[in-house]
């Protein structure tokens, strides 16, 4: 027996995030009652016809019921068949159908509950639509179309997904993200420019351009998916359905030809026993649970607060080989903090701290504020009156920021190269020690910021990146699953390399531009890899579209959300790892139950065939020593029916996924579901046979 | 003398010849230059291709390979059918008349499909023209057709275009089958097999009676019969007749010849793929199944009939050729059904039920080494199904050899799975429903079921052996088995080509630690289980009612 390495499980859906969510908890009461009612309703043959396995079972059940009412329907070996026995077999068949229906209805019911909870967030509201001439008309939110402009004010519910074109306001997005702090929304900003229907504006006023027709918004898409109403089968599910249909046909041939073949010996079995054999052999277990598995998979994604545009996208997650992740926010905490001042040349730490403080007093970013805090802790004071000085903002072009005093003193901090350039342009000299200090900071995984006053370089601020706790373990798990991680960062290669090593990513791209993102994805895809990535900015949209799985942050731009296959409502980039797990879990569950179902056939043959043909001398094949031919057939049928509800919890919950290599996973799951599938029915049928005979059912 | 070491000889020989033959086959599949061959047979091949009017470009679709295959096979069949119907007087010293239409059709189709099921007694119905021009000709081209399909399927699974049918047909004849058959014929000639166009010999027997012994070009006939997995005898007694199989040595050569090419084709697959570990594991799998079946049959035949043990001790000698003995006949039965040859060196009808179980099992699976070219193709279908069923359990869309297994692949693969029950069980049930009269068997019990099921299984699997207790010369038998012969040959070929072409069009995915590897012991075991469950379980009821019921009756 092989032992499997003990590894911590990946975070499963329904983790601690559960407490954060504000979407109303789906109401699960009455779920079972509704599922039972639905199960009976689903007996309608028009609904079963798409599922070949269950349709054959349905036909068999109907024929059996007919033979219970009129046992002499067929002449020959059926004449004189016991009505009671036929009735019992019919009952087991009916139970098989109902159990399969309950499984599906239960999964759908959970989805519906989820959908109802979502739907409550998007009650219809009145919207103020701006006409072309600027006048305002009041319309129902359902009348809004893509491209319409609407005005919303404090207290309003935002009527549909849209883009801010004017105004600044704070919006409460807790209805969908669970984050209770209001979010600032303003026009022209990447992240803050998009709003979601159903959220509430708390202050001020916004003008929006609607980006989704009614019923086409994210919430609507999610509702349709979890509800299963528009559920289309995923490619893998279709392929499996084909195989199950062919297997059903194969066994139909095998069983149908059995009557004339055995008739040659004068041993033609009755129609009812043949139907029993057929239903036992066709893969009813997986046939009955297949759609429930799919629906439950979507439901798990939704519970994780992720909107998938299709089931296909969730399945594709399982196949991903490469994750492309942004460093900031995913691998490290978003905020870098000033750790240390490293002066160069003759300057003292205090000199540097003073200048750093002067260069940062207008900087409101977390980095800037941390520099101010560190400088003040060292006792530095501001050498000028900030009210008279002018702040210089950071821009991607200059890559530095600072302040100018009325006396004409320029304080700057920024990327080392940028400061070098600045100093030279002011006629200064760059001290040789700067590069050493730069490398020293980089090699510690920090980001070096050079500081200068006019044409004099004073030193370097060491900004420290904080790697998220636990991220290294998660990458380790991913590696075991065969998934490579690539980190993208704007940092210099030395810093990037240190962080990559500390976080345990497999590869990194330093000084990356948005274009690099797409080229990394294309390069990996050319090697035959499937790539997943997260993104939020609108310049991520092409990369999100190029990736096989693109997860957009809900806080991101409309463009990014449109391009992605999934939107994470919590805007948590690490969730990609969890989604991959869900995708894999979905496929494993499907495979495990298929294997189990097909492996069951061996035992069922050994239960039913000897029973059918005792007189042909097959008695010795009755290895289970079942009491009588009738109890053998009945026991096999009862087992066949009961195994479905027994596996429903597994189908809905999904097989537990462990981050192991393919070989280990196969070995483990084969042992459980393959060998288990071979052995379980032998034990189960024997036990049922004992019960059947104790109760004198036949 | 213990039969085991002798039995091991052809098997060991087949394993030893697999690498060189596999290398040669891979050169044909991968179209690598072979200087010596190119010089000696290249011009002939070029002339043949010119004659066909084919520039030799690879087919760009499955249809592009299938269509010329069907047309060429159709033409071969048409010529053969006319010759059998007419049997002109040339090379026909005993003046045999043309065959009855249903028999001519069955014989043509049977040899065209590489099956060689014989519902006639060749030595009393076929002249040398028919033996050479029809039977032997079809033996060569049907084997070449099978090989061509094998080549195309291997290419597809390795991600290459399927190739050109005519080129594959011609080259498998000129570079493998004809030279190979000549070598084997020479060896058989040395063992004493006749090779002559002389008129029948008339001799006086010890009892003073006069007997006419038709002789013929048997050595070459015998060689291609075994090497090409054909199996049809020059005489009805097939390999049990001293003209076809005179000595223990010729028996061993014949057993090796049956195994040589199918074993080497699997080896060639690994070479073509650049992963010999994969092909070696598959070889171990199929050879293990063959050995298991062979051992069961050898033990069963060697131990004899338990029902007779009160009176008779020793092996089951009924229907055996004493030159070879019971165990070696059992081994031959396993090999001939496993490789889809269908030649026999004893009476299968008189074999022990356990031997019959082995033989039928081999016919149902069709991969216990498998037929000429098609064996490896069927094996790949089962590997694909195993990947699809269990591959999901590693949490990825199943991949085979770096290509995703999706709906079209599953459709074609499962179609292959469906064809066999369709063309074996349904006609068998129809025949059995007609009772002993329609089946024309004298065995109303389980053995009758075995005979009928065997006949169709042999036809659909393109094997050709049969249980002789059946009066299978009737129009019903001729026509119904013709359906199984055709369905069991060309439908799977079409599906296999479509499957292979679909596979090669898929983008190749890079393997990683998360990919399910198929070249592992674990996965080979999985393939074995899938083979047993999907391939054999369907037929368990007829096995149970036929040979298993018969076997249980002899024990109790």
pLDDT at A161 over 70: yes
Least confident of A134-148, A346-360, A622-636, B387-401: A134-148
Q: How high is the pLDDT of residue A417?
A: 86
Cα–Cα distance measured from residue B228 to residue B262, given in angstroms and rounded to the nearest whole number: 9
Q: Give the pLDDT band (50/70/90) at residue B296.
A: very high
Q: Could you report the per-residue pLDDT of B25-67, keeping only the tens digit for each?
A: 999 999 999 999 999 999 999 999 999 999 989 999 999 999 9
Q: Which of B305, B340, B361 is where one domain is finished?
A: B361
Q: Give the pLDDT band (50/70/90) at residue A334.
A: low
Of A367-371, B64-68, B533-537, give the range with the top mean pLDDT.
Answer: B64-68
One domain for residues B342 and B404: no
pLDDT at A662 over 50: yes
- DSSP symbols for B365-404: H-TTTTSTTHHHHHHHHHHHHHHHHHHGGGTS--EETTEE
Match 């001799």 to its residue by tokens: B203
| Residue numbers of the domain that contains B158 | 3-361
Q: Give the pLDDT band (50/70/90) at residue A4.
A: very low
Residue range A367-381: mean pLDDT, rounded: 87
A605–B411: do the CB atoms touch at under 8 Å?
no
What's the total number of domains in chain B?
A: 2
Of A199-213, A245-259, A476-490, give the range with the top mean pLDDT.
Answer: A245-259
Match 């159903």 to its residue by tokens: A198
Domain contains B153: yes
Domain contains B395: yes
Q: How high is the pLDDT of residue B286?
A: 96
Q: Give the pLDDT band (50/70/90) at residue B325.
A: confident
Cα–Cα distance measured from residue B526 to residue B521, given in angstroms and rounded to the nearest whole number: 9
Share of chain B above pLDDT 90, in %: 76
How many CA atoms are closer than 13 Å to the CA of B487, on its beta-carbon side? 23
For B:491-550, CB contacts with A below 8 A are: 507-510, 512-517, 520, 522-523, 526, 529, 533-534, 537-542, 544-545, 548-549
- DSSP symbols for A337-389: EEEEEEE-TT--HHHHHHHHHHHHTT--SHHHHHHHHHHHHTT---SS-TTTS
Number of Cβ atoms within 10 Å of the Cβ of B512: 18
Q: Give the pLDDT band (50/70/90) at residue A19.
A: very low
Is the minimum CB–CB distance between B209 and chain A shorter than 8 Å?
Answer: no
Domain contains B525: yes
Q: How high is the pLDDT of residue B351?
A: 92
Sheet holding A400-404, edge to edge: A337-343, A456-464, A447-453, A410-414, A400-404, A390-392
Q: Give the pLDDT band (50/70/90) at residue B348.
A: very high
pLDDT at A38 over 90: no
One domain for residues B419 and B505: yes
Q: Counting beta carbons within 10 angstroms of the beta carbon of residue A697, is it exposed (0 to 12), middle (13 to 18) or buried (19 or more)?
A: middle
Of A112-126, B68-82, B318-332, B430-444, give the range with the top mean pLDDT.
Answer: B68-82
Q: Give the pLDDT band (50/70/90) at residue A16.
A: very low
Residues from chain B contacting residue A661 (CB–CB below 8 Å): 513-514
Please name the residue of chain B whose CA is at the shortest distance from the CA of residue A583.
B395
Q: How far is the CA of B205 from the CAs of B192, B201, B208, B246, in angstroms?
A: 20, 12, 5, 19
Q: Counting beta carbons within 10 angstroms of the beta carbon of residue B372, is it exposed (0 to 12), middle (13 to 18) or buried (19 or more)?
A: buried
Q: How high is the pLDDT of residue A1?
A: 35
One domain for residues B341 and B457: no
Q: How high is the pLDDT of residue A680?
A: 94
Number of Cβ atoms within 10 Å of the Cβ of B534: 24
First to last CA, chain A: 42
* Consecutive H or E run containing A205: strand A205-210
Cα–Cα distance measured from residue A617 to residue A629, given in angstroms and rounded to the nearest whole number: 13
pLDDT at B188 over 90: yes
Residue range A167-185: mean pLDDT, rounded: 70
Q: Give the pLDDT band (50/70/90) at residue B390.
A: confident
Q: How high is the pLDDT of residue A226?
A: 64
CB A137 within 8 A of CB A128: yes
Number of Cβ atoms within 10 Å of the Cβ of A43: 14
- DSSP symbols for B287-332: HHHHHHHHHHHHHHHHH--GGGTTT--SS--TTB-TTTHHHHHHHH
- Catalytic, A436? Answer no
Q: Could you report the per-residue pLDDT of B217-229, keeping only the tens digit for each?
A: 999 999 999 999 9
pLDDT at A500 over 80: yes
pLDDT at A97 over 90: yes
Q: Give the pLDDT band (50/70/90) at residue A123.
A: low
pLDDT at B288 over 80: yes
Q: Residue A464, SS3? A: strand
* Consecutive H or E run containing A323: strand A322-326
Cα–Cα distance measured from residue B451 to residue B546, given in angstroms and rounded to the nearest whole number: 8
Cα–Cα distance measured from residue A228 to residue A243, given in angstroms and rounded to the nearest whole number: 23
Assigned token pair, A223 = 């509702």
Q: How high is the pLDDT of residue A390?
A: 86
Cα–Cα distance measured from residue A292 to residue A278, given in angstroms and rounded to the nearest whole number: 23
Least confident of A168-172, A215-219, A598-602: A215-219
Phi-psi region of A550 (alpha: psi -120 to 50; beta: other; left: phi over 0): beta
Domain contains B216: yes
pLDDT at A44 over 90: no
Q: How high is the pLDDT of residue A53?
A: 92
Residues 6 or more apart whose Cβ sits within 8 Å of residue A679: A603
Q: How high is the pLDDT of residue A76?
A: 60
Cα–Cα distance measured from residue A244 to residue B492, given in angstroms and rounded to the nearest whole number: 19
Q: How high is the pLDDT of residue B110?
A: 96
Cα–Cα distance measured from residue A547 to residue B466, given in angstroms and rounded to the nearest whole number: 58
Domain contains B80: yes
Residue range A311-322: mean pLDDT, rounded: 83
One domain for residues B278 and B388: no
Among candidates A239, A585, A602 on the partner chain, residue whose Cβ is nearest the Cβ of B410: A239
Q: Residue A42, SS3? A: coil
pLDDT at B553 over 80: yes
pLDDT at A20 over 60: no
One domain for residues B499 and B439: yes
Among candidates A246, A258, A319 on the partner chain, residue whose Cβ is nearest the Cβ of B417: A246
pLDDT at B119 over 60: yes
Cα–Cα distance measured from residue A472 to residue A505, given in angstroms and rounded to the nearest whole number: 8
Q: How high is the pLDDT of residue A599?
A: 92
Residue range A586-610: mean pLDDT, rounded: 92
Quote the distance between the C-alpha of residue B470 and its chain's center.
21
CB A676 within 8 A of CB A596: yes
Of A85-99, A427-441, A617-631, give the range with the top mean pLDDT.
Answer: A85-99
First to last CA, chain B: 31
Cα–Cα distance measured from residue A223 to residue A200, given in angstroms and rounded to the nearest whole number: 20
One domain for residues B357 and B431: no
Q: How high is the pLDDT of residue B257?
A: 96
Assigned token pair, B77 = 């069949």
**Which of A326, A363, A536, A540 is the catalytic position?**
A326
pLDDT at B488 over 90: yes
Q: How high is the pLDDT of residue A682?
A: 95
Q: Residue length, chain A?
A: 698
pTM for this model (two decimals): 0.85
One domain for residues B273 and B377: no
Match 């990513």 to its residue by tokens: A505
pLDDT at A335 over 90: no
CB A541 within 8 A of CB A559: yes
One domain for residues B344 and B377: no
Residue range A35-44: mean pLDDT, rounded: 88
Q: Residue B267, SS3? A: helix
Q: How high is the pLDDT of residue A396?
A: 66
Distance from CA of A394 to the nearest CA of B (A): 43
One domain for residues B254 and B183: yes
**Interface test with chain B among A286, A666, A669, A670, by most B beta carbons within 10 Å:** A666
**Which backbone phi and psi does B445 adopt, to 5 degrees?**
-85, -160
Q: How high is the pLDDT of residue A219?
A: 66
Q: How high is the pLDDT of residue A172?
A: 77
Sheet holding A168-172, edge to edge: A183-186, A168-172, A200-201
pLDDT at A554 over 80: no
Cα–Cα distance measured from residue A542 to residue A395, given in angstroms and rounded to the nearest whole number: 24
Is the minimum CB–CB distance between A253 and chain B shorter than 8 Å?
Answer: yes
Q: Where are the beta strands (DSSP E) in A435-499?
A: 447-453, 456-464, 484-488
Our CA angle for B72, B73, B76, nearest 5°, is: 90
One domain for residues B335 and B407: no
Q: Give the pLDDT band (50/70/90) at residue A11.
A: very low
Of A69-73, A464-468, A506-510, B540-544, give the range with the top mean pLDDT.
Answer: B540-544
pLDDT at A496 over 50: yes
Cα–Cα distance measured from residue B73 to residue B485, given in angstroms and rounded to the nearest whole number: 14
Q: Give the pLDDT band (50/70/90) at residue A13.
A: very low
B538–A250: do the CB atoms touch at under 8 Å?
yes
Domain contains B203: yes
The chain-wide mean pLDDT, for chain B, equals: 93
pLDDT at B204 over 50: yes
Cα–Cα distance measured from residue A426 to residue A414, given in angstroms and rounded to the nearest whole number: 16
Domain contains B366: no
Of A289-303, A457-471, B134-148, B459-473, give the range with the top mean pLDDT.
Answer: B134-148
pLDDT at B260 over 80: yes
One domain for residues B332 and B451: no
Residue range A224-243: mean pLDDT, rounded: 76
Q: Where are the beta strands (DSSP E) in A96-172?
A: 126-130, 136-140, 149-153, 162-166, 168-172
Q: Counting beta carbons within 10 angstroms of the beta carbon of residue B43, is it exposed (0 to 12), middle (13 to 18) or buried (19 or more)?
A: exposed
Share of chain B above pLDDT 70, in %: 100
Nearest CA to B250 among B321, B298, B196, B192? B192
Q: Could you report the per-residue pLDDT of A129-154, keeping only the tens digit for each?
A: 888 887 888 888 777 888 888 888 88
Among candidates B407, B432, B510 on the partner chain, residue whose Cβ is nearest the Cβ of A261: B432
Residues from chain A contacting residue B392 (CB–CB below 8 Å): 236, 587-588, 590-592, 594
Q: How high is the pLDDT of residue A466?
A: 79
Q: Which of B361, B396, B425 is where one domain is finished?
A: B361
Is the minimum CB–CB distance between B307 and chain A shorter than 8 Å?
Answer: no
CB A664 within 8 A of CB B520: no
Q: Which of B339, B361, B383 is where one domain is finished?
A: B361
Residue range A556-560: mean pLDDT, rounded: 72
Match 């059946």 to its residue by tokens: B470
Strands A205-210 and A149-153: antiparallel
One domain for residues B300 and B412: no
**What does the radius of gyration of chain B's CA atoms come to, in whole angstroms?**
23
Domain contains B367: no
């Amino acid at each position: 027996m092989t032992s499997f390495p003990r590894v911590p499980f990946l975070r499963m859906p329904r983790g601690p995030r559960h407490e954060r969510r504000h979407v109303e908890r789906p109401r699960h009461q009455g779920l079972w009652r509704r599922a039972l009612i639905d199960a009976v309703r689903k007996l309608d043959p028009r609904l079963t016809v798409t599922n070949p396995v269950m349709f054959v079972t349905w036909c068999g059940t109907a024929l059996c019921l007919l033979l219970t009412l009129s046992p002499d329907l067929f002449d020959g070996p059926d004449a004189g068949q016991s009505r009671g026995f036929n009735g019992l077999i019919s009952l087991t068949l009916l139970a098989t159908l109902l159990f399969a229906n309950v499984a599906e209805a239960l999964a759908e019911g959970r989805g519906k509950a989820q959908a109802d909870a979502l739907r409550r967030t998007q009650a219809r509201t009145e919207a103020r639509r701006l006409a072309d001439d600027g006048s305002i008309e009041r319309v129902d939110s359902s009348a809004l179309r893509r491209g319409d402009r609407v005005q919303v004010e404090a207290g309003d519910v935002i009527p549909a997904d849209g883009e801010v074109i004017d105004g600044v306001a704070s919006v409460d997005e807790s209805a969908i993200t669970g984050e209770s702090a209001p979010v600032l929304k303003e026009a022209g900003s990447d992240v803050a420019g998009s709003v979601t229907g159903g959220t509430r504006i708390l202050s001020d006023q916004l003008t929006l351009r609607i980006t989704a027709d009614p019923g086409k918004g994210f919430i609507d898409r999610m509702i349709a998916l979890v509800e299963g109403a528009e559920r289309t089968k995923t490619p893998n599910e279709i392929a499996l359905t084909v195989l199950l249909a062919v297997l059903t046909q194969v066994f139909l041939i095998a069983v149908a030809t059995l009557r004339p073949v055995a008739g040659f010996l004068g041993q033609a079995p009755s129609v009812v026993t043949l139907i029993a054999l057929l239903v036992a052999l066709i893969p009813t277990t997986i046939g009955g649970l297949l759609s429930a598995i799919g629906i439950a998979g979507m439901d798990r994604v939704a519970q994780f607060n992720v909107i998938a545009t299709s089931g296909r996208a969730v399945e594709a997650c399982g196949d991903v080989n490469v994750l492309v992740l942004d460093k900031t926010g995913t691998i490290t905490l978003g905020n870098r903090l000033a750790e240390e001042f490293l002066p160069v040349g003759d300057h003292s730490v205090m000199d540097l701290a003073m200048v750093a403080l002067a260069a940062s007093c207008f900087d409101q970013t977390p980095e800037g504020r941390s520099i101010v805090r560190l400088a003040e802790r060292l006792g530095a004071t501001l050498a000028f009156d900030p009210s008279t000085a002018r702040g210089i903002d950071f821009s991607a072009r200059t890559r530095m920021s600072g302040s100018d005093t009325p006396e004409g003193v320029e304080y700057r901090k920024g990327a080392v190269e940028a400061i070098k350039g600045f100093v030279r342009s002011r006629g200064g000299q760059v001290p040789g020690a700067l590069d050493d200090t730069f490398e020293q900071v980089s090699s510690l995984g920090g980001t070096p910021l050079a500081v200068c006053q006019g044409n004099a370089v004073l030193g370097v601020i060491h900004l420290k990146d904080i790697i998220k706790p636990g991220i290294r373990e998660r990458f380790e798990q991913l590696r075991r699953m065969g998934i490579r991680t690539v980190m993208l960062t704007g940092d210099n290669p030395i810093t990037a390399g240190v962080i990559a090593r500390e976080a345990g990513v497999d590869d990194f791209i330093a000084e990356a531009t948005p274009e690099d993102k797409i080229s990394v994805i294309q390069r990996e895809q050319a090697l035959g890899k499937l790539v997943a990535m997260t993104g939020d900015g609108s310049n991520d949209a092409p990369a999100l579209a190029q990736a096989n799985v693109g997860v957009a942050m809900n806080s991101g731009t409309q463009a990014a959300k449109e391009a992605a296959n999934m939107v994470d409502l919590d805007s948590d980039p690490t969730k990609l790892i969890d989604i991959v797990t869900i995708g894999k879990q979905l496929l494993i569950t499907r495979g495990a139950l298929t294997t189990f179902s097909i492996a069951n056939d061996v035992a069922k043959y050994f239960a039913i065939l000897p029973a059918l043909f005792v007189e042909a001398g097959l008695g010795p094949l009755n290895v289970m020593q079942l009491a009588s031919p009738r109890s053998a057939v009945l026991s096999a049928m009862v087992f066949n029916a009961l195994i479905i509800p027994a596996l429903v919890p597994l189908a809905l919950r999904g097989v537990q996924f462990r981050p192991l290599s393919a070989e280990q996973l196969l070995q483990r799951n084969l042992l459980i579901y393959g060998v288990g599938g071979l052995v379980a029915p032998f034990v189960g049928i024997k036990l049922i046979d004992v019960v059947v005979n104790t109760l004198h059912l036949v | 003398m213990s039969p085991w070491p002798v039995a091991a000889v052809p098997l060991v020989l087949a394993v030893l010849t697999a690498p060189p033959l596999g290398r040669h086959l891979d050169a044909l599949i991968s179209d690598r230059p072979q200087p010596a061959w190119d010089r000696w047979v290249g011009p002939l091949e070029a002339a043949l291709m010119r004659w066909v009017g084919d520039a030799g470009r690879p087919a760009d679709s499955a249809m592009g390979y299938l269509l010329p295959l069907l047309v060429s096979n159709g033409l071969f069949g048409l010529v053969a059918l006319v010759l059998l119907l007419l049997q002109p007087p040339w090379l026909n010293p005993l003046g045999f008349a043309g065959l009855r239409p249903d028999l001519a059709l069955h014989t043509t189709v049977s040899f065209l499909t590489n099956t060689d099921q014989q519902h006639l007694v060749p030595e009393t119905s076929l002249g040398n023209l028919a033996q050479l021009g029809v039977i032997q000709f079809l033996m060569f081209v049907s084997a070449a057709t099978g090989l061509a399909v094998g080549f195309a399927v291997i290419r597809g699974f390795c991600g290459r275009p399927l190739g050109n049918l005519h080129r594959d047909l011609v080259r498998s004849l000129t570079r493998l089958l004809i030279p190979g058959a000549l070598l084997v014929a020479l060896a058989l000639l040395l063992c004493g097999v006749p090779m002559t166009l002389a008129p029948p010999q008339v001799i006086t027997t010890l009892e003073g009676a006069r007997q006419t012994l038709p002789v013929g070009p048997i050595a070459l006939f015998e060689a291609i019969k075994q090497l090409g997995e054909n199996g049809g005898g020059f005489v009805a007694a097939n390999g049990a007749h001293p003209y076809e199989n005179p000595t223990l040595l010729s028996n061993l050569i014949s057993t090796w010849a049956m195994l040589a090419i199918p074993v080497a084709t699997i080896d060639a697959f690994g070479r073509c793929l650049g992963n010999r570990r994969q092909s070696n594991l598959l070889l171990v799998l199929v050879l293990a199944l063959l050995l298991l079946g062979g051992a069961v049959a050898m033990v069963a035949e060697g131990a004899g009939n338990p029902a007779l043990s009160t009176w008779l001790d020793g092996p089951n000698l009924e229907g055996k050729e004493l030159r070879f003995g019971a165990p070696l006949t059992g081994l031959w039965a396993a090999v001939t059904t496993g490789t889809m040859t269908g030649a026999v060196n004893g009476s299968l009808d008189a074999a022990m039920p356990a031997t019959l179980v082995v033989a039928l099992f081999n016919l149902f699976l069709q991969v216990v080494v498998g037929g000429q070219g098609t064996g490896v193709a069927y094996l790949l279908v089962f590997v694909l199904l195993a990947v699809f069923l269990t591959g999901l359990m590693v949490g990825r869309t199943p991949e085979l050899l770096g290509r995703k297994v999706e709906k079209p692949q599953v459709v074609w693969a499962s179609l292959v799975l469906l064809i066999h029950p369709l063309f074996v069980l349904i006609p068998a049930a129809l025949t059995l429903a007609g009772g002993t009269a329609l089946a024309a068997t004298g065995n109303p019990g389980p053995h009758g079921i075995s005979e009928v099921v065997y006949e169709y299984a042999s036809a659909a699997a393109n094997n050709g052996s049969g249980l002789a207790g059946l009066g299978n010369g009737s129009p019903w038998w001729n026509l119904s088995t013709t359906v199984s012969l055709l369905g069991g040959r060309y439908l799977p070929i079409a599906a296999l080509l479509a499957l292979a072409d679909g596979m090669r069009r898929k983008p190749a995915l890079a393997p990683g630690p998360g990919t399910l590897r198929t070249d592992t012991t674990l996965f080979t075991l999985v393939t074995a289980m899938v083979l047993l469950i999907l391939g054999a379980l369907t037929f368990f009821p007829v096995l149970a009612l036929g040979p298993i019921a018969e076997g249980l009756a002899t024990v109790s």
